[in-house]
């Protein structure tokens, strides 16, 4: 990137830290995008994504946005046309879980799905599972409680753990049911946020 003056950056976190939601990676991607846009000599797309990969495995996909199928360590992405009109609920038991700790303890077989996803909808993809779930639950048993409560929530379609935990999520048939479940989780002491499923233009 070309030379530029100093920057003053204010970061407002609205999600828990160490929650498996890619918050740090999304912050890095947003800053990378902004600095490149402000630069007098911005990097081209390939160079920008190479830089993003050097910052963290999840940074490239956060920079790309939308729904992506990821391979390798995060550097290989294929856009997916995901048509889902429902809502999503994120839940965290207010326990921070280190990604490094989860991978250090991970010994389970890797069941990564390498087949075609063209005939899978959003719920089908969630039901493919998360290989890190069993290990994360051993480290933070509250994750299992989150998953069980989400599965019992009215309107929940599919549930899974997010990233390396400890956050979990569920797809819902509509935002009203997701908001009701969010309130129930909050009343029980969890961090919870419901949202419509984002559809990029």
Residues 147-184 pLDDT 10s: 999 999 999 999 999 999 999 999 999 999 999 999 99
- More confidently predicted of 110 and 46: 46
Segment 177-199 shows an average pLDDT of 93
Beta bridge partners of 77: 70
| CA distance between the termini of the chain | 28
CA geometry: angle 166, 72, 82, nearest 5 deg? 70
Report H helices in 153-197.
175-187
> If pLDDT is split at 50, 70 and 90, which confidence band does 123 have?
very high
Percent of the chain with pLDDT over 90: 58
User: Residue 120 — very low, low, confident or very high, per pLDDT cuts 50/70/90?
Assistant: confident
User: Crossing angle, helix 23-38 and helix 45-55, to 10 degrees?
Assistant: 140
Q: How far is Cα 139 from Cα 181, in angstroms, rounded to an integer?
A: 25
Backbone angles phi and psi of 22, in degrees to 5: 70, 25
94 phi-psi bin (left φ>0, alpha ψ -120 to 50, beta other): left
**Residues 125-139: tens digit of each pLDDT:** 999 889 999 999 999
pLDDT over threshold 70, residue 201: no
pTM of the model: 0.85
Q: How many CB atoms lie within 10 A of CB 27?
A: 16
Given this model, what pLDDT does residue 102 score? 95
What does the DSSP 8-state code read for residue 118?
T
Residue 200 clears pLDDT 60, i.e. is over it: no
| Residue 184: per-residue pLDDT | 98
Is the pLDDT assigned to residue 109 strictly greater than 90? no
| Confidence (pLDDT) at 1 | 46
Other Cβ atoms less than 10 A from the Cβ of 54: the count is 10
Domain-by-domain residue ranges, the chain? 23-79, 87-196
For residue 168, the Cα-to-chain-centroid distance in whole angstroms is 10
- Measured CA to CA, the distance from residue 151 to residue 144 in angstroms comes to 11
The edge-to-edge listing of strands for the beta sheet with 191-196 is 156-161, 168-172, 87-92, 191-196
> 3-state class of 68 per DSSP?
strand
CA angle 125, 141, 160 (to 5 degrees): 10
Q: Assign domain 87-196 to its CATH architecture.
A: 2-Layer Sandwich (3.30)
For residue 198, the model assigns a pLDDT of 64
């Amino acid at each position: 990137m070309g030379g530029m003056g100093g920057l003053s950056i204010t970061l407002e976190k609205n999600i828990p830290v160490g929650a498996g939601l890619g918050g740090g990676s999304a912050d890095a991607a947003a800053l990378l995008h902004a600095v490149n846009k402000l630069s007098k000599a911005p990097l081209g797309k390939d160079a920008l994504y190479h830089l993003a990969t050097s910052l963290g495995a999840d940074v490239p996909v956060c920079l790309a946005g939308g729904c992506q199928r990821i391979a390798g360590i995060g550097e290989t992405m294929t856009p997916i046309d995901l048509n889902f009109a429902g809502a999503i609920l994120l839940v965290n038991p207010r326990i921070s879980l280190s990604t490094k700790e989860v991978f250090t303890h991970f010994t389970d077989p890797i069941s990564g799905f390498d087949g075609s996803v063209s005939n899978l909808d959003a719920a089908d993809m969630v039901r493919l599972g998360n290989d890190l779930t069993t290990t994360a639950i051993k480290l933070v048993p509250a994750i299992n409680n989150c998953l069980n409560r989400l599965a019992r929530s009215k309107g929940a379609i599919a549930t899974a753990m997010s990233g390396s935990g400890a956050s979990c999520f569920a797809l819902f048939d509509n935002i009203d049911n997701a908001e009701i479940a969010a309130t129930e989780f909050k009343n029980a002491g969890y961090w919870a946020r419901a949202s419509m499923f984002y559809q990029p233009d």
